[in-house]
Structure 1
């Protein structure tokens, strides 16, 4: 996955003209984790597993990736917290589900404050999980009309989302469902959308054979995008690769992949 702190510092040096002072910004570190009984892969029957405390780790999508990202984010912002491990995170998440319908999928909003305080919100969801990149297009993505200022708040997931909210307000028509906005930085490099990482189909040359291959390409972290957990999963599975994607290469009507840690993968059509 690479050293997120190194990448974040590279982003700061490359994209920010003014010194960055996160102390002046009110925010909490955020990770949104999918709890889903359909993910369970333990040896007990589902009813037996759902009364265990804590719950089995397999109920939580990409749990280890969330642990890694939360630890690296807390370290970057120098938050006064002890290092998380999977057991501790599962215990915290299981406690937050204590009085909830555990047969229902939930979005777990893990919030870590500047003073080290933890809050977990369990929100029921009906969003199905999909990890198949060969899905039909069901979303629309509108290319933003203005660049987004890149900062640690685009490299690290937090509750400070003004830049995302402004982009959505600029481009997504009211009352349009399954829609997102595609962002780019001041170097005219595509970065991500307001709630997802993205991959586009691009041609690449095999350095050994010279053969041209078409592959799903996601912007590198150095562009200023979030290190998403589903992005990491798809990279490690070899289903996508990294590469710079320029804004002027985006075409109206082309299909792209969107992915995050709650819905997994969806396919979308670009609208310029």
Structure 2
């Protein structure tokens, strides 16, 4: 890789969903008090801006809330706006921004994307989706610039998926399986496409960002609202069969279960 022409780009994805988001006050208040069908778009601006600085890239003037919203709107031109979409935003070192929209399934509980974060897993009758099966990786992953910022360089995540028998390609929101990555010192990080939290003493606990996991926009929201708290999680403390909380900006929050290896 040349220092002038990196073989990767910065990426961030979020959900477009009129039914779930247009009247959600928590989303409106974080969007300059304007109703929006994009999940936490202002947080996506913050995330990409911070990542660009971490990679020592110039921050383009187009990476602003109004400009990015217009680019997202353009990606949905001539599409059914009552359908939810995954919005994938890509930023190059040269400051070029591209946006692509892809249809995603409607949620069973579209009025509350984060109901799973508020429930006691032992009485989760409001959640009809089957839990996501999460397998503990068989090898540790070294934290790096490419685990603490989201880029198109996804090799460590694909390798982790392959090690536990999960396909590495064609990964889209809603996939029923995932893999939990951890460091060589035994500290849990995240899954291959989601941030994660564990139920400890009646609270959802998520790994510190300092372990090298991604600063997801949904993770930021859940921390701000006190639905999850940060702590150290060691894989030696995990139990097969325990309930997990998984979340990203396309799916919202989902329940998972720690499973034995495939």
Return the TM-score normalized by structure 2: 0.81
What is the match of residue 77 of structure 1? 55
- Within 5 Å, which residues of 2 pair with 1:96-107? 96-107=75-86
- Alignment match of 2:251 (pick from 263, 266, 271): 263
What is the match of residue 243 of structure 1? 231
- Alignment match of 1:171 (pick from 145, 153, 164): 164
Q: How far, CA to CA, are the matches of 1:123 and 1:89 in structure 2? A: 17
For residues 111-156 of structure 1, the C-alpha deviation after alignment (integer angstroms, 9 at most, x for no partner) is 0112111111111111425211225452110011100121111111
SS in 2 for 1:157: coil
Q: How far, CA to CA, are the matches of 1:22 and 1:244 in structure 2? A: 35
What is the match of residue 49 of structure 1? none
What is the match of residue 65 of structure 1? 43
- Within 5 Å, which residues of 2 pair with 1:96-175? 96-128=75-107, 130-132=113-115, 133=117, 134=119, 135=124, 136=127, 138-173=131-166
Q: How far, CA to CA, are the matches of 2:44 and 2:79 in structure 1? A: 22
What is the match of residue 213 of structure 2? 225
- Alignment match of 1:194 (pick from 188, 192, 195): 192
> What is the root-mean-square deviation in Å for CA atoms of aligned residues?
2.3
- The structural deviation recorded for 1:170 is 0.8
Q: Which runs of 5+ in 2 are unaligned?
A: 25-33, 169-173
How many correspondences in the alignment?
230
Pick the structure with greater CA Rg: 1
SS in 1 for 2:131: strand
Q: Is the 8 A contact 1:35 1:107 kept in 2?
A: yes
- The structural deviation recorded for 1:236 is 0.7
- The structural deviation recorded for 1:92 is 1.2
Q: Is the 8 A contact 2:49 2:59 kept in 1?
A: no
What is the match of residue 171 of structure 2? none
- The structural deviation recorded for 1:158 is 1.1
Q: How far, CA to CA, are the matches of 1:33 and 1:219 in structure 2? A: 22
What is the match of residue 4 of structure 1? none
SS in 2 for 1:81: coil
Q: How far, CA to CA, are the matches of 2:182 and 2:212 in structure 1? A: 9
Distance 1:25 1:171, change over 3 A: farther
- The structural deviation recorded for 1:41 is 3.0
SS in 2 for 1:58: coil
Return the TM-score normalized by structure 1: 0.78
